[in-house]
Amino acid sequence: MKAEQFWKIIAEINAKAPDGSQKAMLRQAKEALGKLTLEELVSYDQIFHVYHNAADRQYLWAASAALGASCSDDSFKDFRSWLISRGKHVYMEALRDPQALYNFILKEEKLNFEVFAYAATDVYTEKIKAQGKTVRFGEFPLSDASSAHPMDKEQEEAILAEIPHREDIQEGWSVNDFPQLFPALYQNADDEAAKALWTVVGPEKLIRGHVCDDTGITVYVFENSPENIANFIGSRPMANWIIVTDLLDQGLVTTYGWFIDHCPDKALLGKITSVLVPIQMGEAEAKPVLCGTEDALNDYVERTEHENGD
């Protein structure tokens, strides 16, 4: 099987499930794959895994999280299966510029599709069972057949040569990096920040930053860490005062201007000042902290609950 035939099968699956329903797509996938021979199923699965592995890039992982997908190791694998299921054009555009995915995501679409990766395995197993062969629990005959008959190296190189090359980012990225990494996704910065904070960071890790300046008082929400608190304060030298609390309004830090006035947790204070003081002394610059207003976060949560029927 050539890559062109692989993508033709994926296109056929999408054409017969235009609403993006994953149940319908899985049904259509098994129907399409059921027409293949055992040898073709091995080739299909090998090509699938070449594309799946090629999409294992940090910038794509970060983009999936910025778009609202779960960002665990397993979830990123499921995201890459979803990406392949959407077809060649979407896959290639995502590898060229992951921000382009925003234009392809269907309303309420889940950005993971774990079972799509197993469709060929299921069909292959059913075919050999139909031939009277026994498959015991824990055996994976498609994987065994693929290992016994590996893909031709030249075919793999030809597939990889067609995939857009983009310089990857370093491991260790966080939600704080999203606006800089994906500016097109953050044109509506407050709303996108709210989505990332709620879906990627999680409400249990959020804290409030109450900032009083000449325009009044604004309440922000951001991820709780000593470094984030220090950079949040250090990036607001013109503040009259800042109060950082947890979501239960228990005080963590208060400032006079941008200088810490009170912090009851001395261990926390030491961690904050080790980052904040060099910023205040002009020896370092405050790093960006992904934050959104509390109003934007509340609007996002209410809108999401309404869309989900909660």
pLDDT tens column, 230-285: 999 999 999 999 999 998 989 999 999 999 999 999 999 999 999 999 999 999 99
Asked if residue 56 has pLDDT above 80, the reply is yes
CB 122 within 8 A of CB 115: no
Q: Which residues contact residue 281 at a Cβ distance below 8 angstroms, ignoring those fewer than 6 apart? A: none
What one-character DSSP code corresponds to residue 103? G
Residue 119 has what pLDDT?
A: 95
Can you read off the two tokens belonging to residue 18?
């235009």
Residue 116 has what pLDDT?
A: 96
Rounded mean pLDDT of 191-199?
83
Please choose, from the candidates 53, 67, 61, the residue with its C-alpha nearest in 3D space to the C-alpha of residue 100.
67
Asked if residue 91 has pLDDT above 70, the reply is yes
Q: How far apart are CA 296 and CA 116, in angstroms?
A: 35
Asked if residue 178 has pLDDT above 90, the reply is no
What one-character DSSP code corresponds to residue 98? G
Q: What string of DSSP letters covers 255-310?
A: EETTEEEE-S-HHHHHHHHHHHHHHHTTSSPPPP--EEEHHHHHHHHHHHHHHTT-
CB 242 within 8 A of CB 197: no
Residue 8 has what pLDDT?
A: 96
Confidence of residue 187 (pLDDT cuts 50, 70, 90): low
Please choose, from the candidates 76, 75, 70, 84, the residue with its C-alpha nearest in 3D space to the C-alpha of residue 58.
76
Confidence (pTM): 0.71
- Distance between alpha carbon 275 and the CA centroid of its chain, in Å? 28
Asked if residue 58 has pLDDT above 80, the reply is yes
Point out which residues pair with 218 in neighbouring strands: 211
Name the residue ranges covered by the structural domains of the chain: 3-162, 175-307
Asked if residue 190 has pLDDT above 90, the reply is no
Asked if residue 67 has pLDDT above 90, the reply is no
Residue 189 has what pLDDT?
A: 67
